[in-house]
Amino acid sequence: MANLLTTSIGKKFIMSITGLFLVLFLLVHLAANSAYLFGPEAFDAVIRFMGSLGILIMVPVLAAGFIIHIIYAAYLTLTNIKARGSHPYAVSNKAKADSWSSKNMFVLGAIVLGLLVFHLTHFWAKMQLPEFIGGHAENGNVLMVQTFSNIWVLLIYIAWFIALWLHLTHGFWSAFQTIGINNQKWIPRLRAISYVYATLIALGFSLIAVVAYLRANGIV
């Protein structure tokens, strides 16, 4: 275990595992948020479920996954910059990693993190956090209207989803390669899956944001 935590390969492995954990979370989160597309009642039902004890217990686990991923990504990036200026993801074929996304994973991750904080101030800080400290959560449907009534907020969120798409298209398949699935048969498949998955996530969240904007402004 000590070697896993201290060696370069071990750090990459841990960052990949936490990254895949977050990949799964994004899919679940999108599925839950998609209830908004079916009306206020459906969204309220999902919000009540998300406020259940089991989900609340998972919040610290999720936060730990984010923190560990960020710490290891930052450490490996700084170490690689100092050593040879390459990105932290393990790849066996330089040509396969020679995309803009692969060379800017840390920058993209920083953008995603910054806008995640922006997102948390809109929803988590007004819903889950008050419940943690014994208060009352604000209504999720009302928060959607308040948040997405501003076109500039909508555009910021869409920019976030684009950065997330770029981050995922490389990070998804790269994480699998790092944990050992790196033969020539599976890498092309994983690269294709990564694009499908990243597009599903980015378009799904973008659709929800656009619908929220349209509803908030009485367009639909």
Give the tens place of pLDDT for each residue, 194-217.
999 999 999 999 999 999 999 999
Show Cβ contacts of residue 147 under 8 Å, excluding neighbours closer than 6 positions. 122, 123, 153, 212
pLDDT over 70 (residue 98)? no
Give the tens place of pLDDT for each residue, 24-53.
888 988 999 999 999 999 999 998 887 776
Number of neighbouring beta carbons within 10 Å of residue 136: 8
Which tops the pLDDT comparison, 58 or 161?
Answer: 161
d(Cα 108, Cα 201) in Å, to the nearest integer? 16
pLDDT, mean of residues 121-147 = 87
What is the per-residue pLDDT for 65?
82
pLDDT, mean of residues 175-183 = 75
What is the per-residue pLDDT for 63?
80
pLDDT over 50 (residue 95)? no
d(Cα 166, Cα 164) in Å, to the nearest integer? 5
What is the per-residue pLDDT for 83?
65
pLDDT, mean of residues 2-9 = 56
Tell me the residue range of the domain where 83 lies: 2-216
Which tops the pLDDT comparison, 73 or 149?
Answer: 149
pLDDT, mean of residues 159-170 = 91
What is the per-residue pLDDT for 140?
92
Which tokens go with 97?
């990693």
Q: Which of 209, 97, 212, 215 is nearest to 156 (CA)?
A: 209
- Output the CA–CA distances (angstroms, integers) from residue 13 to 75, 179, 197, in the order listed: 13, 6, 21
CATH number, position 212: 1.20.1300.10
DSSP reduced 3-state for 65 = helix
pLDDT over 60 (residue 146)? yes
Instruction: Please check whether residue 68 is in contact with residue 11, taking contact to mean a CB–CB distance below 8 angstroms.
Output: no
Average pLDDT, the chain: 82
Label residue 60 by pLDDT band (50, 70, 90). confident
* Domain count along the chain: 1
Instruction: Please check whether residue 115 is in contact with residue 136, taking contact to mean a CB–CB distance below 8 angstroms.
Output: no
What is the per-residue pLDDT for 9?
67
